[in-house]
């Protein structure tokens, strides 16, 4: 899936739709920690991961831009640190000039006022005035992989971000996942329209049938029931 198709298809979806599609497809649901949020509410981002493991110097990001393609998203691993910021306005400007689609940081940013003027989508765990006060040894794989919370991501992954947070998916499964997500979205929209028209969700998913079967078969799950009746809701 090229960048234009990715942006076009994600524009009509949410990360929640994609997460449910991952669950249905048996793909690990890899969410960034809950604190990683858009600097500017309403911001969305989608692109291939351009990983960078921060060690205290901006040169790592500049080198990452050398290998990045237009539409990539810089994913910065700063270990979730809250004692320093690691990205500011100059890095964002350089990323924008290199054609990147945005920045996701497992850590903090600064220069918020300038970043809002620049307008490049940025997701982080928050903001702090001070930059790094350290310079650590650079790992050999500093530009090959990044940790974001519990997950290791790299160029074989896509990163998607919206109001619900940030999600990573394998690029080679993107077409399948987006198709599943579109089906889930359409089902949920139909269900919402029917609720507004006066038909309860319980009636739509034949909840009485589920309760009756569960009484006879305690291991029968609601997800199994939903698959049987064509509901979406959970996945």
Among candidate residues 140, 146, 164, the one with its CA nearest the CA of residue 73 = 146
Among candidate residues 76, 81, 55, 78, the one with its CA nearest the CA of residue 65 = 76
pLDDT of residue 223: 84
Q: How far apart are CA 123 and CA 107, in angstroms?
A: 9
Q: How far apart are CA 110 and CA 105, in angstroms?
A: 11
Q: Report whether 89 belongs to an annotated binding site.
A: yes
Q: Report whether 189 belongs to an annotated binding site.
A: no
pLDDT of residue 228: 80
Can you list the domains of the chain with their CATH numbers? 3-176 (3.50.30.40), 200-230 (no CATH)
- Angle formed by the axes of helices 3-10 and 174-196, to 10°? 20
Q: How far apart are CA 35 and CA 102, in angstroms?
A: 18
Residues of the chain with pLDDT under 70: 230-235
- DSSP reduced 3-state for 146: strand
pLDDT digits (tens, 9 = 90+) for 13-45: 999 999 999 999 999 999 999 999 999 999 999
Question: 53 and 218 in contact (C-beta within 8 Å)?
Answer: no
Q: Report whether 90 belongs to an annotated binding site.
A: yes
Give the tokens for residue 204.
């739509």
pLDDT digits (tens, 9 = 90+) for 101-128: 999 999 999 999 999 999 999 999 999 9
Q: Report whether 111 belongs to an annotated binding site.
A: yes
Specify the pTM. Answer: 0.91
Antiparallel, parallel or unpaired: β 85-87 and 45-53: unpaired
Question: 146 and 153 in contact (C-beta within 8 Å)?
Answer: yes
Give the tokens for residue 137.
């040894």
Give the tokens for residue 12.
């009509």
Q: Report whether 211 belongs to an annotated binding site.
A: no
pLDDT of residue 235: 46
Q: Report whether 88 belongs to an annotated binding site.
A: yes
Question: 130 and 85 in contact (C-beta within 8 Å)?
Answer: yes
């Amino acid at each position: 899936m090229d960048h234009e198709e990715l942006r076009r298809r994600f524009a009509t979806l949410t990360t929640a739709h994609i997460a449910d599609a991952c669950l249905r497809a048996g793909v690990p649901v890899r969410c960034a920690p809950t604190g990683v949020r858009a600097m500017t509410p309403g911001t969305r981002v989608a692109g291939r991961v351009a990983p960078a493991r921060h060690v205290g110097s901006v040169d790592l990001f500049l080198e990452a831009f050398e290998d990045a393609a237009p539409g990539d998203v810089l994913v910065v691993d700063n270990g979730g640190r809250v004692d320093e910021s690691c990205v500011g306005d100059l890095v964002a400007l350089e990323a924008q000039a290199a054609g990147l689609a945005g920045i996701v940081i497992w850590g903090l940013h600064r220069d918020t006022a300038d970043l809002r003027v620049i307008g490049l989508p940025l997701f982080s765990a928050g903001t702090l005035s001070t930059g790094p006060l350290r310079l650590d040894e650079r790992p050999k794989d500093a530009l090959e992989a990044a940790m974001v919370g519990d997950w290791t991501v790299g160029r074989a992954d896509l990163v998607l971000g919206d109001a619900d947070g940030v999600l990573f998916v394998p690029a080679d499964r993107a077409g399948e996942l987006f198709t599943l997500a579109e089906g889930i979205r359409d089902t949920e929209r139909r269900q919402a329209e029917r609720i507004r028209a006066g038909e309860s969700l319980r009636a739509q998913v034949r909840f009485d049938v589920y309760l009756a079967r569960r009484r006879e078969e305690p291991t029968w799950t609601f997800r199994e029931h939903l698959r049987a009746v064509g509901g979406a809701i959970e996945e």
